[in-house]
Every structure is written in C-alpha cells, then in structure tokens.
Amino acid sequence: MYAEVILPVPVGRSFTYAIPAVCADIIKVGCKVSVPFGRNKLHTGIVLSLHENPCSNAFEIKEIRELLGSEPVVGEKDLRLWEWIADYYMCALGDVMKAALPSAVKQTGNVKVKKELHVKLADRLFDKTALNETFESLQKTPRRYALLRKLVEMTSFDTAIKLNNRNLIRQVSRAQLLHESNTSAAVLLGLKAKGIIEIYEYEVLPQQNSTGSIVDMLPLSDSQQKALDEIVNIHSHKSVCLLHGVTSSGKTEIYIRLILQMAAQGKQVLYLLPEIALTTQITQRLRRVFGDEMGVYHSRCTDAERLEIWQKQRSDKPFQLIVGVRSSIFLPQKNLGLVIVDEEHETSYKQQEPAPRYNARDTAIMLAHIHNARVLLGSATPSIETYHNTTLGKYGYVKLDQRYGGIMLPQIDVVDVQDLVRRKIMNQPFSPMLEQEMQQALEHGEQVILFQNRRGYAPVVECVQCGWIPTCEYCDVSLTYHHEDQKLHCHYCGNSFPIPAKCPNCGGHDLRSYGFGTEKIEVEVHKRFPKARTARLDLDTTRSRGSYSKIIDDFAQGKTDILIGTQMVSKGLDFGNVRTVGILDADTMLNRPDFRCHERAYQMMAQVAGRAGRRNRRGHVILQTRRADNPLISQVVNGDYISMFQEQMLQRQQFYYPPFYRLIYVWLKHRNEVVVNKSALMMTRLMQQAFGGGVLGPDRPAVARINMLHIRKIALKVAASPRVSPTEVRKKLRTIAEQVTSVPGLHSTMIFFDVDPL
C-alpha cells in the first residue's frame, strides 16, 4: 500500500510514500503524517490518496515515519478544492496546503492557547462582613480602596454575595481593570501582596460569547423584499446570482434573511468580505443576529483562534455562519448551502504574493460547485467579468436601485481644476467650491470625507537645479516623502531612507517636494480649518491591530469632523452624517497604464461618492479633475454603470483583453539581470512557437527591480472560446518553464504564473 502525500514545499504535486504495516488499516485520506523529505528532514504532510501502484520513478520510495492521528484533518471535498486551485492557478499543491491550513494544524507539536492575566477577589472575601472589613482596612490608602471598589463593581462581586451564587462573578482582565480604574500596576500589586486579590492566567476564547437575536432585525423595504424573492427564485435553477444594489441599499439585511433561510434547512453559510478593514461594521451587525453561531476569520486572528475555528468547522456542530476574508474559503465546511461574496469587484480577493495566486471570488464559485451550494455575488459596482456573465445568462441578475429609507443618491459636481488653476483662483489641493462646502459642513456640525489615492506626504521629491529624483536602493521606484518621520519611503519594499543633505547628482541644496499625499492633505486641512478634528485612514495609520476600527468608530460617533483617506475610505462603510465627499484628484486614477484602469476608477469614485448622504438630506460630492471631458467622469456623475460597461467592453474586445481573452502573466525573477534577460527571451521564443501571436513581451515592468530582484514579464492572451482548452494551455506553459530552467546557468531563475491577473 502506498500513499500520495502533499508536502508544504513549492514544487510538484504530491509525493509517493510506502505505508508501514502498523498503520495500514487506519490511515485515511486527509490524515496528517510525518515523512522524511530531502536530507533526512521530517515534514508534516497530508494524505491525498491511497493506492497500490507506485509510479515507476527513479527514486527509492521511502516509508511514512508516523501517522499523526487516525482522524483526517482535511476533508475529501477540501482536497478537491486544493487540487483545482493548484491546477487552475498553476502552482504547487504544497503552496495551496500552506495557504489553507492554519499553522497550528500543520505543526506537529502542541497548540498554544492564548492566555490573558485576569484579576479576582480572594475567595475568603466572599462574605459580606469580610469584604466590609477589608474596605475599612483600606481607608488610609485611597487608591487601593478605589481599585478594590472598581473590581467589586466589574466582577459583580457584591451581587454574587447577596444571592450567594459564585457563578455570578464575572471575569475581569488585568488590562481592563487597570484601564477602567485608571490606576497603575503598583496599586494592584499592593492589593495582591495583602492577599486581597489574586492574579491568574485565563484561557481566552477567540469568539465573544453572546447570543444573537432574530428579533433584532430591521424590516425589509418593498424593494429589498422583491430582491430577496428574486434571488431565492434564481437560486432554484441557477447556482450563481449577482445582486447589483446601489450604495446604502441595505444588501446586508437581504443577506441576513438568506442566511436564516439556510440555517432553517440545517445548512451553513460562508460570507466573504474583501478585507478585515471592512468587517468591523458588518460583523457587529451580523453578531447582533447570529451571536455565537457566527465565526469570524481574518488575517489578524491568532494561531489559536484559527485553530479553534478550524476544529469547530470539522466538528459535528460547525458554525452556522463564517464571516471572513479570502483565506476563509479554505475552512472546512460540513453542509455548505450558500456562499456570499460581498463587494465582489474588490481586487483584494485576489492573492498577489505568494502562491497560490488565487481569486477568492472565483474559487468560491468552485467551492460552491463541489458542495452543490449556491453563490450570491454582491456589489454596487460589479466587475466587468461578473456583469458580462449575467448578460450571457451564466449568472442570474437582481437589481436593487433604491437606497434604504428613501435616501437619495448624492449630487455630484465636477470641478475643472485645469481651468481654475489657469485663472489663478485655486490654491491646491482644495477648489473654492470644496473649501466652502467644508466650511459649511463644519458650521453645521456635519462631516466631510476627503479622498486622495496616495499616502505619504509628497509623492515626488526633486532637485530644483538638475531634476534629480531620489529612488529606492533595492527597487527601481521613486521614493515618497513622509512628514511623520521626515524620511523617504519606498512603497514597494517598505524601506525608508534619510533625505540627502544635498543633491548627489549636482550638489544643489534645494530639494523640493511636489504633489499631495494624504499626510500633506491633513496638514493643509489644519492650515485652513485649525479647529477641525481630523483623522487619516491609510496604510500608515492602520498598521496596528484595532487602529482601523478606532478611526472608523470615532468618525461614526462624530468625534472627528474630517476623515482623510486613500481608497480605504471607499470601502462599504456606513455613516449617517456625511454632508460632503471631496474627490481631490480623479486624474491619478485615470492615468494608470492598465486595461482595468477605467473600471477601477469608476468603482472607486462611485463607492467613495456613496459614502455621502445623511439620514434626511442629500449628500454632496465634489469631484476635482483636469480631465472634466473624459467620458468616465460623466459616467460617475450620472451613476451610469451600463455606459461604463459598454464602453469598456468595446475596448476590451478591440485590444484582446478579458472577458474576451484569458490572460496569464509569466513572471521571471533573478538577482542577475543578464540571467533574467536570457531566461525571458528563451521563454518568449518557446511560447511564441507554442501559442503564436498571443504572446507579448518580454517586458520590463514599470517597476523592474524589487528587493534586489530583476523582473521580467511575459503576457499570454488566449481567446476565451470553447475551441481552446485552458488545461492544454497550462500544461504547455509548465513544460516550457521546465525547459527554460533545465538550461545550465538559467536553472536558478524563478518563474511563476499569474492566472487571471488583476
């Protein structure tokens, strides 16, 4: 008997091992095993299949060293999804395994549970007299007295004494107690020394314990009810449906109804969101309805949290609802009924680095197919591909074009910056109209969102004398000045550099910065509106856990007046008091050399505009551009998705792009530029022989060196027609890559594929 074993290595599919007699009867597909690999190194792998015929290869077949548990950790359906991903996205099965399994499941050793320090009153104080005497003894140390008072209050200790029931004592963490009592740790230790309190370790459960309530649901409007009925109807005969609902149309409430319907049939739901950034508001909403029946899975979960969700999903009582980011498509599912992909157009569903470079939206459709489940894609600005599939009848289509509560879509005014600058009546970055709007919003206690899709202070730094521009030492990219640490940052590799005292090219001393990043916008806001309370939402301000939620919560509660941010502010957030949204510079979005640039620009602007609007008055969007005559601008102004779609489709057809052609990028990387050039040329030649005219390149990408590695790119366009087999194409590509790396001198070239790149 032999087993095919998947190992977490970036090569190949699976590896054949002999099954020792001791475990021959108990080993199953999906079990975890320990096997020797390479130079006597032990690896943990997953059994993919069992068979009796070893392929006749030159290698000696080794034996499985140990069976790690007789129960499978991965289900057969999960393995089918893994195989599909490895095949479709052209990567090793081991890459998929690495992405899919939480590290705690992969490890052979024990799992660490997250522990927190908690505080409780000494047991002997569970007595009214004893407690009172203790308080009296603390009369002369008021801070200790106050701290104990707070602890009694937070633990409900006196209520518990009164009712003589220790179960009523609540858990209080040390951090929470110190925070709420505003006391130092020294005071706490003083009480501990006197034996009044005890500090102990407590195992923290990742999911908050709360029971949801179906009572806590908002009534559906007529149009929501109609959309819900249509979705249910479509799902009776089609597996995928698009819900095209304008911003603030209340898609979440429809999702909640669908999840409840699934739960009633004993089925589970997977609800995908593009990033954790988005989940705060929505998870809070869902938690109120689903309570403990809901698991939340995202990139900032600890290993213990991931393991617990994984184990619960494999148990007899899995979560009714999993809300998660793209990697949650790998969670085990018992009886999956529905996958919801919210904001399906979002690019963050696609994993860029490392392999597997999968798109979670498209993978979700395969996942649902394997489980015979349904898929609901939701968006106010669907991706061209998805909308195209609805026009072909492949996906069902439901439109929801009324905002919840009858709120009107915002009015969008275009400001022609070109003209204003020429007439010298505009000081960057705010046009007079925007400045006036901001003024009025502040006077009325209303809020403003400013959208600038560049972080940092100034995107361009230049020597006034010779035009020299500082670039990254490790990447071919210019640096962005950040005011906060007064350094030049590389947005590709993350390194930062001091500002040179003089120009290294001409020795000049006048280095100037141009352009506006979010940091500089905030400085400009302070100059003009010194009293305004501002916050910034970009990659730099949201690195630490919880910082994103804090910025959003503060804004939602009116603690800040003006929120300045990158595309992060365009993500499905709901605020009730935003009078004005300013799109400061639409042009940076329109000028990118990418065939999806206009689609993205439309999505971003329509989404950010959708944040404007108050509970009872129409919101106002001011869109600043130098290209007011660009057709895309009027499509945004009129909310005319269909025109944008049709125009983009014409261009895609004309220039051989998706959805008419399938796109695969071949990336080659090497530290040595000569080697990477040779490999790229050979790869291109072989691809041209195999595929003919659809091969473009090799190109030096816009950033042709990142982290010391030289990069080349080859694009392959293959007609999306039934006559061309994508499987054949992928097979040929793999063979060609192997041919290139078998040439002496080129073997260390890294070659990888990006299928359906974004």
Q: Which is nearer to Zn ion, 491 or 685 (CB)?
A: 491
Could you tell me which stretch among 149-157, 469-477, 579-587, 623-631 binds Zn ion (CB under 5 A)? 469-477
State the minimum distance, in angstroms, from the CB of residue 751 to Zn ion: 22
Distance (Å, whole) CA 238 – CA 396? 7
Q: How near is the Cβ of 350 to Zn ion at its closest, in Å?
A: 22
Candidate residues 172, 472, 479, 736; the one interacting with Zn ion per rule CB under 5 A: 472
Cα–Cα distances in angstroms (integers) from residue 210 to residues 146, 283, 294, 321, 620, in the given order:
30, 13, 10, 14, 39
Tell me which DSSP letter residue 702 carries.
S
Say how far apart CA 618 and CA 604 lie, in whole Å.
20
Q: What is the C-alpha radius of gyration for the chain, rounded to an integer number of angstroms?
A: 29
When binding is defined by CB under 5 A, the residue of 466, 523, 702, 743 that contacts Zn ion is: 466
- By beta-carbon proximity to Zn ion, the closer residue of 239 and 496 is 496
Figure out which of the listed residues 16, 311, 418, 465 binds Zn ion, where binding follows CB under 5 A.
465
Q: How many residues bind Zn ion (CB under 5 A)?
A: 14
- Tell me whether residue 345 or residue 489 sits nearer to Zn ion (CB atom): 489
Query: 253 and 324 in contact (C-beta within 8 Å)?
Result: no
Closest CA to 336 of 288, 295, 386, 370: 370
> Which CB, 185 or 466, lies closer to Zn ion?
466
Cβ burial 581-616 (10 Å sphere, 16+ → b, else e):
bbbbbbebbbeeeebbebbbbbbbbbbbbbbbbeee
Shortest distance, CB of residue 543 to Zn ion, whole angstroms?
18
Q: By three-state DSSP, how is residue 263 classified?
A: helix
Q: What is the DSSP string of 460-521?
A: EEEETTT----B-SSSSSB-EEETTTTEEE-TTT--EEEPPSS-TTT--S-EEEES--HHHH
Task: Name the residue nearer to Zn ion (CB basis): 75 or 508.
Answer: 508
Interaction of residue 100 with Zn ion, rule CB under 5 A? no
Smallest separation, CB 352 to Zn ion (Å): 16
* Range 578-617, binding Zn ion (CB under 5 A): none
Taking the least distance from each CB to Zn ion, the nearer of 212 and 508 is 508
Phi-psi bin for 69: left (phi > 0), alpha (psi -120 to 50), beta?
left
Q: C-beta of 57: minimal distance to Zn ion in Å?
A: 43
Distance in angstroms between the alpha carbons of the first and the last residue of the chain: 44
Cα 29 to Cα 76: distance, rounded to the nearest angstrom: 7
Residues 484-523 that bind Zn ion (CB under 5 A): 490, 492-493, 503, 505-506, 508
CB of 462 to Zn ion, least distance (A): 9
- State both tokens at 102: 């939480």
Residues in 116-175 at the binding interface with Zn ion, rule: CB under 5 A: none
CB of 459 to Zn ion, least distance (A): 15
475 near Zn ion, judged by CB under 5 A: yes
d(CA 496, CA 255): 44
Q: How far is the CB of 748 from Zn ion (least distance, A)?
A: 22
Q: Least distance in Å: CB of 465 to Zn ion?
A: 5
Which of 84, 126, 474, 497 forms a contact with Zn ion (CB under 5 A)? Answer: 474
Residue 477 vs 637, nearer CB to Zn ion: 477
- 667 near Zn ion, rule: CB under 5 A: no
Residue number, 344 or 462, with CB nearest to Zn ion? 462
Distance in Å, CB of 566 to Zn ion, minimum: 19
Binding-site member from 463, 584, 604, 755 for Zn ion (CB under 5 A): 463
Closer residue to Zn ion in complex, CB, 94/470: 470
As measured in angstroms, the least distance from the Cβ of 514 to Zn ion is 15
The separation between CA 187 and the C-alpha centre of its own chain, rounded to angstroms, equals: 42
Nearer to Zn ion, 291 or 508 (CB): 508
Instruction: Give the nearest distance from C-beta 468 to Zn ion in angstroms.
Output: 4
Smallest CA-to-CA distance from 733 within 663, 635, 640 is with 663
Q: Which of 117, 469 has the CB closer to Zn ion?
A: 469
User: What string of DSSP letters covers 373-410?
Assistant: -EEEEEESS--HHHHHHHHTTSSEEEEE-S-GGGPPPP
Stretch in the footprint of Zn ion (CB under 5 A) among 173-181, 232-240, 349-357, 461-469: 461-469
Q: For 665, phi and psi rounded to 5 degrees? A: -100, 135
- Residue 468 within binding range of Zn ion, rule CB under 5 A: yes
Return the closest-CA partner of residue 643 out of 627, 632, 654.
Answer: 632
DSSP designation for 13: S
CB-nearer residue toward Zn ion: 327 or 480: 480
Residues that bind Zn ion (CB under 5 A): 463, 465-466, 468, 472, 474-475, 490, 492-493, 503, 505-506, 508
